[in-house]
């Protein structure tokens, strides 16, 4: 009688299965970064979406914990056990991605980016967890600590903290921009306060006997690349005013959006965030450009970039029927919900803003708006 044995399929060793799963998860990341929302005739249900996304994230967190626990014990799980948990992790991760694809763009690009970044963190965190399990031997301290502090759980918990509408998302991003510009402003102010214009001029010790000399034989400090000259300091004053103006503008724009922005102004809020995101890097570039040794041409080019970015933000604020007003002798701004007065006051605001840039002879756009 012929035996009726069932052929057993070959399973890769547990660690090889983990390595394969990590590769599969990383292959999903490009798709998430560029993926478009699924088109559907059904009306978007906000409450259902957030419930589905949060449940999917919690499922990933649970499966990741089970996976880590299995590979923290001796003996290591069998190939069959490894296959089962790897399939569950993969399915849970795909569910998070599928939930993200149901979020339509018309709910706000800013909010959609936050959701996308959260999903990317979950997928990438799971791949990193797999890498850690591959690298750490069973029952080692490094492996045991993964149960409580792996990045997957942190990423999954952040899903519940995502703003639930585009206005809240815009406020979150504006707050981050304000904080970044604030740090740059305070860094620049501190550098100016600590500036010693005589640095290097009084070091006449023997160690500096080889200082550079000009054609007349007058000694120059050997560390002139680490301090500001009088010309540099004259250039820094309007630069600092521009950074201060950028900080004040962002802060007031954030307040304006919080108090008067509407949730249905989705596209306009997205535009404000997009332009505001450019201000912080511009300010960082400006601050870095004024550190010694100072290249005046680089500073003027950087100021030109900054002087175009902020007015773009003001134009977008104008489209929201919100007004930004500059005080004549101060970089402090105030905001008013008075569209009928926009023209005169907004023009005055531009005149003051560009006056700062014009002091650097760097912004032809200033002349156009100061007439």
Spatial separation of the C-alpha atoms in residues 266 and 169, rounded to whole Å: 10
Q: How confident is the model at residue 196 (pLDDT cuts 50, 70, 90)?
A: low
Of the given ranges (85-89, 243-247, 316-320), which has the lowest mean pLDDT? 316-320
What rounded mean pLDDT belongs to the chain?
75
| pLDDT for the residue 314 | 59
- Omega cis (within 30) before 293: yes
Segments of the chain assigned to CATH 1.20.1420.10: 14-162
pLDDT tens-digit series, residues 142-160 = 554 455 447 899 999 999 9
Kindly state the percentage of the chain with pLDDT values over 90: 34
Two tokens, residue 310: 């902020």
Cβ atoms of residues 133 and 152 within 8 Å: no
Segments of the chain assigned to CATH 1.20.1410.10: 168-195+228-369
Sign, CA dihedral 268-270-271-273, equals: positive
Nearest C-alpha neighbor of 276 from the set 241, 243, 316, 303: 316
- Mean pLDDT calculated for residue range 178-199: 81
Helices (H), 35-165: 46-70, 79-101, 109-135, 141-149, 151-158
Which comes out higher in pLDDT, residue 320 or 247?
A: 247
Q: How confident is the model at residue 310 (pLDDT cuts 50, 70, 90)?
A: low
Cβ atoms of residues 278 and 175 within 8 Å: no
DSSP string covering 189-241, please?
Answer: HHHHHT--TTTTTS--SGGGTT--B-TT--B--TTGGGS--HHHHHHHHHHHH
Backbone angles phi, psi at 348, to 5 degrees: -65, -40
Q: How confident is the model at residue 256 (pLDDT cuts 50, 70, 90)?
A: confident
Two tokens, residue 325: 């007003």
Instruction: Give the length of the chain.
Output: 371
CATH of domain 14-162: 1.20.1420.10
Spatial separation of the C-alpha atoms in residues 360 and 353, rounded to whole Å: 12
Of the given ranges (90-99, 237-246, 317-326, 335-344), which has the lowest mean pLDDT? 335-344
Nearest C-alpha neighbor of 251 from the set 343, 176, 347, 336: 176
Spatial separation of the C-alpha atoms in residues 189 and 243, rounded to whole Å: 10
| pLDDT for the residue 36 | 80
Q: Is 75 exposed, middle or buried (0-12, 13-18, 19+ CB in 10 A)?
A: exposed
- CATH value of 168-195+228-369 in 1.10.1040.10, 1.20.1410.10, 2.60.40.1940, 3.30.450.40: 1.20.1410.10
Spatial separation of the C-alpha atoms in residues 225 and 295, rounded to whole Å: 11
Annotate 208-221 with b (16+ C-beta within 10 A) or e (fewer): eeeeeeeeeeeeeb
| pLDDT for the residue 227 | 76
| pLDDT for the residue 43 | 87
Annotate 285-317 with b (16+ C-beta within 10 A) or e (fewer): bbbebbeeebeeeebbebbbebbebbbbbbebb
DSSP annotation of 131 reads H
| pLDDT for the residue 296 | 84
The residues with which 333 forms a beta bridge, in sequence order, are: 326
């Amino acid at each position: 009688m012929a035996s009726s044995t069932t052929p057993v399929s070959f399973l890769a060793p547990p660690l090889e299965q983990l390595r394969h799963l990590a590769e599969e998860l990383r292959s999903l990341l490009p798709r998430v970064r560029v993926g478009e929302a699924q088109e559907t005739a059904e009306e978007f249900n906000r409450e259902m979406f957030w419930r589905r996304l949060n449940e999917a994230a919690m499922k990933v967190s649970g499966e990741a914990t089970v996976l880590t626990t299995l590979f923290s014990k001796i003996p290591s799980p069998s190939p069959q056990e490894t296959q089962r948990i790897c399939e569950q992790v993969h399915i849970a991760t795909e569910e998070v991605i599928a939930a993200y694809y149901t979020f339509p763009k018309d709910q706000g690009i800013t909010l959609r980016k936050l959701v996308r970044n959260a999903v990317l963190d979950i997928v990438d965190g799971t791949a990193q967890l797999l890498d850690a399990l591959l690298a750490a031997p069973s029952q080692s301290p490094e492996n045991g600590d993964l149960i409580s502090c792996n990045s997957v759980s942190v990423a999954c918990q952040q899903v519940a903290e995502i703003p639930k509408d585009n206005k809240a998302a815009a406020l979150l991003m504006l707050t981050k921009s304000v904080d970044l510009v604030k740090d740059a402003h305070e860094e620049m102010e501190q550098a100016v306060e600590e500036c010693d214009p005589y640095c290097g001029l009084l070091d006449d010790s023997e160690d500096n006997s080889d200082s550079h000399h000009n054609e007349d034989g007058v000694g120059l400090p050997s560390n002139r690349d680490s301090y500001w000259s009088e010309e540099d300091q004259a250039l820094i004053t309007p630069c600092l005013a521009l950074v201060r103006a950028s900080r004040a503008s962002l802060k007031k724009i954030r307040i304006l959006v919080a108090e008067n922005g509407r949730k249905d102004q989705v596209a306009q809020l997205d535009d404000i965030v997009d332009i505001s995101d450019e201000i912080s890097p511009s300010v960082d570039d400006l601050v870095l450009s004024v550190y010694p040794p100072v290249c005046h041409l680089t500073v003027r080019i950087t100021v030109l970039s900054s002087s175009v970015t902020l007015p773009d933000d003001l134009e977008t604020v104008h489209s929201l029927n919100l007004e930004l007003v500059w005080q004549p002798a101060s970089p402090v701004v105030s905001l008013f919900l008075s569209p009928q007065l926009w023209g005169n006051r907004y023009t005055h605001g531009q005149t003051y803003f560009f006056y700062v840039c014009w002091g650097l002879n760097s912004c032809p756009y200033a002349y156009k708006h100061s007439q």
